[in-house]
Structure 1
């Protein structure tokens, strides 16, 4: 995962919305959506909550 995708994941895990993530990272709302699509594909999940659940699991 890219460093920017990890930034998005960290904010997602804090409960931020796409708009809030965009504001925090100073990127477009559409860019956040694109990052999420790539994150979902790389992690093999379909939902935001699945990303959070995966990130909460111990290594």
Structure 2
């Protein structure tokens, strides 16, 4: 299977969310609920850069 297709299939079977790295409390809560960081990227607001965690969890 094409890796792009398999990633799309995984996304359809997962719950997705994004959290900023400075929001430690929310990250801990979502990790306790089974979410795992699968990608990070950089964001910017008012010339301030910050890291964004993309998190997902498999839907049961």
Query: TM-score, normalized by length of structure 2?
Result: 0.30
Query: TM-score, normalized by length of structure 1?
Result: 0.30
Q: Which structure shows the higher helix fraction?
A: 1
Q: Which has the higher contact order (CA 8 A, sep 6+)?
A: 2
Q: Return the index of the structure with the highest Cα Rg.
A: 2
